[in-house]
Structure 1
């Protein structure tokens, strides 16, 4: 499928979704959000994709935010519809069965920071910048930032970033837990791909059920979360991957998982 503002590819069980509006620093306008949503639909339907990478084109910007030019003259109804479209798309990303890694290769501001937070975890280049500058424009974060950012970095750090609209660098993002690792710009995608391939080498059913259990548990009390973990743990014993993984361990060989 061809897109105007997104580059999508699949290779060896890994899907890469690249926002591609370099002249606008990969800012999200309605068309781009629609294309991103369509990419997620392709991933949802695929039986072969095991890991997803989300990134931006070039070496300056991941996603510099929502497109301010496109939003500046929106009515309240238009603004709500745009926010809802982006929220729904980011929630689909968050709820994908496959792990999703954000490769943050530059500015991740506003909608870009919100997109990164919708992914399972984030690796950043050393020139990356993060922030929620919306209050400086007279609006709140609208693509999930008031909810996901404090859940990722903690209530105090999230509130400070949103209330002050301060932009932080990659090292600060690492310090507060917004990103897992920081790499030189030239090495970022190579390092992200290493992790993606490592995940893809594991039992895909177990990985996806682990994600489901984590996500479920973070949104409920611990007793309910542990009960759900017990269910997915039991399901694993009905899979060929469990037999292969444990058999390979006993036989001291490398497992060959099939996702069954």
Structure 2
């Protein structure tokens, strides 16, 4: 704490600390220096020609708590503003606008949860902040009681424009590799959600945007929406699951044609090849695909939620293995639904000729 007091005094007074003063720091205070701070102190002769900037750098890069709590002097007084500043990236992340949000519907639509993509200035491009917010949100849904999740865009004319190429251009090879790995992990997270998921494609879904839609169980689209895995036109290939999920959705031959050519297709063509489940004419408000997705979600609400989830698990796991193994998976999932109260309610409702009232138990 003595070191923090000395640093705060120098920030307040504008005094510079050269190598001589560094040497006069008590050994107990020197022990507080991080490797980054020690490196900066060695550079102080060059930095001290201009007033105070080095103190700001040291405080910003080495003394600010990672949790973002205010840093205090020995008397419990907050340090000056420059001492409270976070690193540029941390500050940018902390002050970033909300790019992904969630909304839980109520009333007759209780059980439907919407994931809202709202990065207006970049057409929902997959950047660092968008990706982090989406991963956190999807992670929170993994243990949620929602019966259906609808992914939709609040940005007119676009579902998701794919990777943020401006951000990618600033990455080196290692950073780019880590970022794509995180993208791939996000798509796996979405595909692994236990409840049904629907992508409402009311506008462009290109590259990573289409990969996000492919990670969902079902897709609705406006006929005017443009979709495509266009990575080959940028010297790349689909890297967030598209090269695997597209063949499993439309078949290997069609998937190869779409990826090799980088072709963009409309909603009606996507419906014909099985890429989307429903295609509709766009409406005046630009949310026809969302309205269609909402109608589809409402069809699922009355069904037994445990049975629906286990059906998804049986299909998703079974499609990856041989038929004999897939039948074993189905048998295992079936055995898990037998003891549920929902199954008993379903049988009772049938015998009593009334609608069932499922509770998810």
State the structure with more CA Rg.
2
Aligned residues of 1:213 and 1:229 also touching (Cα < 8 A): yes
Q: Confirm or deny that 1:25 pairs with 2:25.
A: no
Q: Distance in 2 between matches of 1:192 and 1:164?
A: 29
CA offset digits 1:151-194 (Å, max 9, x no partner): 11111111111111111111111111000101123332222112
1:3-82 alignment to 2 at 5 Å?
4-11=98-105, 12-46=110-144, 48-82=145-179
Q: Residue 330 of structure 2 corresponds to which residue in structure 1?
A: 229
Aligned residues of 1:59 and 1:185 also touching (Cα < 8 A): no
Aligned residues of 2:100 and 2:130 also touching (Cα < 8 A): yes
CA offset digits 1:115-159 (Å, max 9, x no partner): 010000100012211111111111111111111111111111111
User: Which consecutive residues of structure 2, in runs of 5 or more, have no partner in the other structure?
Assistant: 1-95
Deviation of 1:49 after TM superposition, in Å, equals: 0.8
User: Of 224, 227, 230, which residue of structure 2 is paired with 1:127?
Assistant: 224
Q: Confirm or deny that 1:200 pairs with 2:301.
A: yes
Q: Distance in 2 between matches of 1:58 and 1:71?
A: 22
Deviation of 1:3 after TM superposition, in Å, equals: 6.3
Task: Report how many aligned residue pairs link the two structures.
Answer: 258
Q: Confirm or deny that 1:211 pairs with 2:307.
A: no
1:105-254 alignment to 2 at 5 Å?
105-186=202-283, 187-254=288-355
Q: Distance in 2 between matches of 1:69 and 1:120?
A: 30
Q: Distance in 2 between matches of 1:39 and 1:127?
A: 29
TM-score by length of 2: 0.69
Q: Distance in 1 between matches of 2:183 and 2:97?
A: 17
TM-score by length of 1: 0.96
Q: Distance in 1 between matches of 2:250 and 2:210?
A: 12
Aligned residues of 1:3 and 1:35 also touching (Cα < 8 A): no
User: Of 200, 223, 227, which residue of structure 2 is paired with 1:103?
Assistant: 200
SS in 2 for 1:185: coil
Aligned residues of 2:117 and 2:155 also touching (Cα < 8 A): no
CA offset digits 1:40-92 (Å, max 9, x no partner): 1221132x311101111233000011111111232221111111101111101
User: Which consecutive residues of structure 1, in runs of 5 or more, have no partner in the other structure?
Assistant: none
- Relative contact order (alpha carbons < 8 A, sep ≥ 6): 1 or 2 greater? 1
